[in-house]
Amino acid sequence: MRVLILEDNALLGEGLRLILERGGHEVTLRDSVDGLDGVLDGNYAELLIADVRLPPTYRDEGLVAALAARRRYPGLRVLVLSSFVQVEYAAELLADPQGGVGYLLKDRIGEVDDFLSAVGRVMSGETAIDPEVVAALIGRSPAHPLANLTRRESEVLALVGEGLTNREIAERLVITESAVNKHVGAIFVKLGLTAEVRGHRRVRAVLLFLASR
């Protein structure tokens, strides 16, 4: 896999490069968005990993560049990194129903296996959402759709947001897979996600409250 990393923190960038190269991936590391179109026009990257805040203003250059690249190259997978839970950024990126996108907190990268798992999910066309982003949305006002979920349903939804399968969720929560299936079904009903809803319902269950921010 060919990976392009946009990260101005040299230590983090080199760390990501080392992790991915050890996995057999071909990696290019850049510290700004300058010249990004030229690199992508060369059909280099299959996966773009970008910090949200990059030079020169350190606001949202990385996110803007990632969103633009995604629109220009529909098959490009995008994984965005951030230092904080910034729900508006996550919602904008993850609103694409095609999948193949992710939003992780930088602290999560310290868990190498979790990071590589997220990369794998994004590359397979799934959506990887940092569990802290999901958890930040669980405590909502009574008017919010999530207020109708039970504690267990909220836990299941948080793990759905991480990209876990029903079997993996069952193992994590030490319950049966059948119980997870029932919880997921109840979540779909409470959030109004019928079988006729376009797009992957597991992803849309998470995106529903991301977009409501």
Please state the length of the chain: 213
CA atoms within 13 A on the CB side of 47: 27
User: 101 to each of 108, 122, 196, how far by Cα in Å?
Assistant: 16, 5, 23
Within the chain, all domains assigned CATH 3.40.50.2300 are found at: 2-129
Least confident span in 41-45, 58-62, 143-147, 198-202: 198-202
| Residue matched to tokens 């299959």 | 46
| Residue matched to tokens 């700004």 | 32
Domain covering 135-211 in this structure, CATH number: 1.10.10.10
Q: Does residue 97 have a cis bond before it (omega within 30 degrees)? A: no
Spatial neighbors of 211 by CB under 8 A, at least 6 apart, are 91, 95
Within the chain, all domains assigned CATH 1.10.10.10 are found at: 135-211
User: 36 to each of 4, 31, 33, 85, how far by Cα in Å?
Assistant: 9, 11, 5, 26
Instruction: Please give the CATH superfamily to which domain 2-129 belongs.
Output: Response regulator (3.40.50.2300)
Query: For the segment 139-195, what is each residue's pLDDT rounded down to a tens digit?
Result: 544 556 667 888 888 888 878 877 788 999 999 999 999 999 999 999 888 887 766
Q: How high is the pLDDT of residue 138?
A: 53
Q: How high is the pLDDT of residue 141?
A: 46
Amino acid at 64: V
> What average pLDDT does the structure give for the chain?
82
Are the C-beta atoms of 145 and 190 separated by less than 8 Å? yes
Measured between its terminal Cα atoms, the distance across the chain in Å is 34
Q: What 8-state DSSP symbol labels residue 80?
A: E
Tell me the percentage of the chain whose pLDDT exceeds 70: 79
pLDDT at 114 over 80: yes
Query: For the segment 8-47, what is each residue's pLDDT rounded down to a tens digit?
Result: 999 999 999 999 999 899 999 999 998 887 778 766 789 9
